[in-house]
Structure 1
Amino acid sequence: MARARRNKSYKLAQIYDRRSRDVPFNAEVAEVEVDNPLALDAGEKIVAIRSIRGDPLGRLHAHHQIDEAQYLGGRAFQNDWERAERGPQAMDPTREHVDGARTREPVTESQRQAVLRLNQIERELGTDGAALVHDVLVLGLTMDQIGQRRAVRTQRWNDYFARRFRECLDRLALIYGFATETGTPRAGRRR
């Protein structure tokens, strides 16, 4: 007896497609190109899915509201903040009491450099800009939430905060070296 032939053709390109098709009901994800960890050739890229639910900077980048330099500047700021934040830690009351104090961790050179960069950023952005960047990049607030914290709840204020935040991201990209300054030179600077 002859075997029945299958009508389904095999597509070899889809065999190695490891992207997840099942995402949770309330997931917010975006596709991003990353270096292939299994690649034989350097620089090979693959498409991965990243969660942008609790990441305002990632959401702005995924929706093409900020460019790559602004995104990298924001990530560099977050990295410096995390590095500088490691410091004195609270005592754990659940641990057994031992005579003697725990020695204080010394401040590392990378911590010191991060603090110096954060101080420079605060001077460059000003008090309001530094507070806005901190609210979005460290606390993860949206423009609506920032408006609520400052008791201004209109769309006009949300647009202002968004525009000001993009200006601050431009400045961060310049400070961290992901962008170069173009146009007319600032007052007090000579070419």
Structure 2
Amino acid sequence: MPRAKRRKPYDPAKVHDRRSRDLPRHAEVATVEVDNPLALEPGEKIVALRSIRNDPLARLHSHRQIDEAQFQAGRAFQSDWEKAERGPRAVDPTREYVDGGQGREPITEGQRKAVLRLNRAERELGADGSALVHDVLVQGMTMEQVGERRGLRTKRWHDYFSRRFRECLDRLALLYGFATEHPVPVKTLPR
């Protein structure tokens, strides 16, 4: 007769695992440590699953191909893009027509600052770098898709775009204040 398994006693201090056990068939997830929304003390963390299926920036971060400063700079760029993108809206044919209509919404201070940061980022990255950053961070393209879009499908070009994208993220990290410039130490010659 098989022995009954002993249950471990309940330990309230042990961290609760809130990760899902049943995922959809084609799910692509990575573990991430986040602030506990149910925490009694500030700063408590839990392990959660983050979808990386349609998020190339999160995929690079979860595979340790970019560091935390580059990840935060990419998220800041995406946030600025979303703030600045709110502008003229399309006409909704399902709404009832009314004379006069609504006036245009004024541009907020947050939008104005976001546009200024995006303009500065575009100047810093140059035309090629800003196009690459836009393709990956705004349109969600992978490096293979970026290469195919430009008609460059070899492994060498894929590696070039990956390296160039990380350089652009480094530049954005400096621009947004997530990193600092490392001065190159100058060696003095002995006299």
TM-score, normalised to structure 2, is 0.90
Secondary structure of the 1:152 match is coil
1:1-191 aligned at under 5 Å gives the runs 6-12=4-10, 16-184=16-184
Q: What is the rounded CA distance, in whole Å, between the counterparts of 1:123 and 1:77 in structure 2?
A: 14
Q: What is the rounded CA distance, in whole Å, between the counterparts of 2:119 and 2:5 in structure 1?
A: 67
Deviation of the 1:6 alpha carbon: 4.3
Q: What is the rounded CA distance, in whole Å, between the counterparts of 2:110 and 2:70 in structure 1?
A: 23
**One-letter code aligned to 1:30:** A
What do residues 47-101 of structure 1 show as CA deviations (whole Å, max 9, x unaligned)? Answer: 1111000000000000000000000000000000000000110110111111113
- Mark the runs of 5 or more structure 1 residues left unpaired by the alignment: 186-191
- Mark the runs of 5 or more structure 2 residues left unpaired by the alignment: 186-191
Q: What is the rounded CA distance, in whole Å, between the counterparts of 2:100 and 2:156 in structure 1?
A: 57
Deviation of the 1:40 alpha carbon: 1.3
Runs (4+) of structure 1 exceeding 6 A deviation are none
Q: What is the rounded CA distance, in whole Å, between the counterparts of 1:91 and 1:114 in structure 2?
A: 25
Q: What is the rounded CA distance, in whole Å, between the counterparts of 2:113 and 2:5 in structure 1?
A: 64
Percent identity reads: 70
Q: What is the rounded CA distance, in whole Å, between the counterparts of 2:9 and 2:63 in structure 1?
A: 32
Cα 1:145/1:15, change in 2 over 3 Å: closer
RMSD over equivalenced CA pairs, Å: 1.7
Deviation of the 1:11 alpha carbon: 4.8
Q: Which of 18-27 and 154-163 deviates more?
A: 18-27
Q: What is the rounded CA distance, in whole Å, between the counterparts of 2:141 and 2:15 in structure 1?
A: 40
**One-letter code aligned to 2:52:** I
**One-letter code aligned to 2:81:** W
Q: What is the rounded CA distance, in whole Å, between the counterparts of 2:160 and 2:4 in structure 1?
A: 61
Equivalenced residue count is 181
TM-score, normalised to structure 1, is 0.90
Q: What is the rounded CA distance, in whole Å, between the counterparts of 1:71 and 1:159 in structure 2?
A: 19
Deviation of the 1:142 alpha carbon: 0.6
Q: What is the rounded CA distance, in whole Å, between the counterparts of 2:119 and 2:19 in structure 1?
A: 42
Q: What is the rounded CA distance, in whole Å, between the counterparts of 2:140 and 2:172 in structure 1?
A: 17
Q: What is the rounded CA distance, in whole Å, between the counterparts of 1:6 and 1:160 in structure 2?
A: 59
